[in-house]
Chains A and B, each alone.
Chain A
Amino acid sequence: MSRAGALAPLDVYVAKKRLTNASGQTIDVIRDLALRLEAGEIGALVGPSGCGKTTLLRIIAGLDERYEGEVKRPPGRLSMAFQEPRLLPWRSVEDNIRLAVADVGEKELRVLLDALGLGEHAMHFPGELSLGLARRVALARAFAVTPALLLLDEPFVSLDAPLALAMQRELAALVKERAITTLLVTHDVSQAVRLADRIFVLSPRPAHVIGEFRFETRAKGTSDEQARSLEKRVEALLMQATANFAADR
C-alpha cells in the first residue's frame, strides 16, 4: 500500500461556505476557518451541534465543492465513516467492505471483523443488523484501508457506552499503529480529549476555529488529571462561545 501521502499534512482553509436553508434564506455556515493537521495526527473537531462540523467534513472529503477557500488533502486514498452507516442493503456485511476496499486481504478482513465484534455477522445483510451493528460495519469499512486521510463523523454515537469506549481504544490503536492522519467530528469533549492529539474548538454558526489544543504528552500517555483539566478548558471555551453567540442575537 502506498504510504507516500502519509507524510503530507492536511491543510484546510474555508473563507466562506454558504447554504440555503429550508425557508430559502442564504446563510454563512462557515467563515474564515483554518486548520492544519500534521501527518499521522488525530484531530478532533468539537463544536456546538449544528455549527457546520459535518459540512466542513464533507468539504474536506471533496463531496462539497461549492465553497470559497482551499483544502489540501494529503495525496493518496481517502476513507470515511459517515454519521449514518451508508451500507449497500443488497450486499452482506463482508461484501460491503470488500466492495469499498477491493484490496483488503481475507485475513485482514477477518481480524478487523473480529476486532469490531462483527465476526458472526459477516454474512448478514444490513437490514438484519441493529443501527449500532451497522455503524460498526461502516467503521470496519473505513478502517479496512490504510488511507492517507481518515475522516470520521461522530463515529461512536448510537453505540452503548462500554462499547463506544472499547471502539475508541480500537480506533486509537489502529490509527496510531499505522500513523493514519485522522480527523473526527464529535460533540463529546471527553471523547475528543481521550482520542485526539489536537482539538479544534469551533464557534457556533458561522463556524470558525476559536481554540486549538495540542497534547504534547499524548505519546507518553496522558494522566487522568491532565485529561480532566483539558476537558474543562475546552468545555469552558465552548460554553463561552455559545453564550456570546446567544448574546449577539
Chain B
Amino acid sequence: MAARLLSLLALLVVWALAAHFGDPRRFPGPLEVAAAIGRTAGSGDLFFAMGVTMARVAAAFVLAMAAGAAIGYAMGRRPLVDELADPWIVVLLNLPALVIIVLLYIWVGLNETAAIAAVALNKLPNATVTIREGARALDPGLDEMARVFAFSRWKRLRHVEAPQLAPYFAAAARSGLSLVWKIVLVVELLGRPNGVGFQINMAFQLFDVALLLAYALPFAAAMLLIEAFLVQPFERRVSRWRARAA
C-alpha cells in the first residue's frame, strides 16, 4: 500500500516537473488542473455533467447485463439457441464500438434512446458470452438433485443455478462497467448536448487541456470508487462459498 502511494506521488511529481518545463497551455500542471476542477465544481457544471453521464452508464449497464444474462443463460442451456444466436454474437463482438454508435445515431436519431442502446449493444456480447460460460458450467449433479427433490422452477433458479452463475455475473459486471463508461464518453462526444463526453469535446474545440482533465479525472476517479466499493465487494460476496470450499 505504501509503495502504491509513493508511486502515485512520484507520478504527480513527474507531471509537475514536465508541466514546469513544457508548454503550460498544452500541458498544464497538477495545480492548474486542480484550479480548473475547483472552477467547474464551483459552478456546478462538473456535477451536472457527471450526473448525466452516470445516469447513461447506469441505464446502458443495467440493460446490457439483463439482456446479456437472459440470452447467455438461454444459449448455455439450449444448444439450438446457442447455434442460432452465436453468429449474431460473433458479429456484434467484432463490430467496432464506433460503427455501432454511428449506425444507431443514423437509424434511431441523435437522441437518448440511440445513445443508450448503442452503449448497451456494445457491452451485450461480452456479458452474453460470460454468462453462457457460466450456464454451461452448471453442475448437472445439483440439477438432478433438484429434480429428485421436486424443486419448483423458481426455487431451482434461485437456490441452485443463480449462486453458480453469480461469479460469472460479477465478472461480467466488472469488465462491463469499465467498458461501458469509456464508451459512454464516445457516445456523448459524438451526439449528446451534455455529459462528461460532451464537455471533453468542448475542451478539445478550445484546446483547453486543463478543462479537459478537469472533467476527465474526477469522472475516472468516481468510476474507480464505484468499482472498488460496489463491484468488487459484490464479486467477493458471491464468490464467498468458493473460498470456504477451498
Interface residue B21 (Cβ < 8 Å from any Cβ of A): no
Given contacts A125-B241, A127-B246, contact A86 B141 (CB under 8 A): yes
Chain B residues contacting A86 (CB-CB under 8 Å) are 141-142, 144-145
9-residue interface stretch from A72-80, A163-171, A188-196? A72-80
Is B150 a contact of A78 with CB atoms below 8 Å? yes
Interface residue A111 (Cβ < 8 Å from any Cβ of B): no
6 closest Cβ contacts across the A-B interface?
A127-B245, A90-B241, A100-B149, A86-B145, A127-B244, A90-B163
Is A125 a contact of B244 with CB atoms below 8 Å? yes
Which of A80, A89, A100 is B241 in contact with, Cβ under 8 Å? A89
- Shortest C-beta distance, B6 to chain A (Å), equals 39
Is B244 a contact of A80 with CB atoms below 8 Å? no
Given contacts A90-B163, A99-B159, contact A63 B147 (CB under 8 A): yes
Chain B residues contacting A82 (CB-CB under 8 Å) are 141, 144-145
- Counting contact residues on chain A (CB < 8 A from B), the size range is 20 to 34
Interface residue B148 (Cβ < 8 Å from any Cβ of A): yes
The B139-167 residues at the A interface (CB cut-off 8 A) are: 141-142, 144-145, 147-151, 155, 159-160, 163
- Shortest C-beta distance, A77 to chain B (Å), equals 7
Given contacts A125-B241, A127-B244, contact A88 B160 (CB under 8 A): yes
Chain A residues contacting B160 (CB-CB under 8 Å) are 88
Provide the bound-state CA to CA distance between A56 and B4, in Å: 61
Chain A residues contacting B241 (CB-CB under 8 Å) are 89-90, 125, 127
**Total A-B residue pairs with C-beta atoms closer than 8 Å?**
50
**Interface mask (A136-150 → B, CB under 8 Å = 1, otherwise 0):** 000001000000000
Provide the bound-state CA to CA distance between A127 and B241, in Å: 8
The B60-105 residues at the A interface (CB cut-off 8 A) are: none
18 further contact pairs, Cβ within 8 A, besides A89-B241, A89-B244: A63-B144, A63-B147, A63-B148, A79-B148, A82-B145, A86-B141, A86-B142, A86-B144, A88-B142, A88-B159, A99-B151, A100-B145, A100-B149, A125-B241, A125-B244, A125-B245, A127-B244, A127-B245
Interface residue A101 (Cβ < 8 Å from any Cβ of B): yes
Least CB separation from A83: chain B residue: B141
Provide the bound-state CA to CA distance between A128 and B145, in Å: 20
Least CB separation from B139: chain A residue: A86
Interface residue A68 (Cβ < 8 Å from any Cβ of B): no
Is A80 a contact of B245 with CB atoms below 8 Å? no
Chain B residues contacting A99 (CB-CB under 8 Å) are 151, 155, 159
> 27 A-B pairs, CB-CB below 8 angstroms?
A62-B147, A63-B144, A78-B148, A78-B150, A79-B148, A82-B144, A84-B141, A86-B141, A86-B144, A88-B163, A89-B241, A89-B242, A89-B244, A89-B245, A90-B163, A90-B241, A91-B159, A99-B151, A99-B159, A100-B151, A125-B241, A125-B244, A126-B245, A127-B241, A127-B244, A127-B246, A128-B244
Given contacts A82-B144, A88-B159, contact A77 B244 (CB under 8 A): no
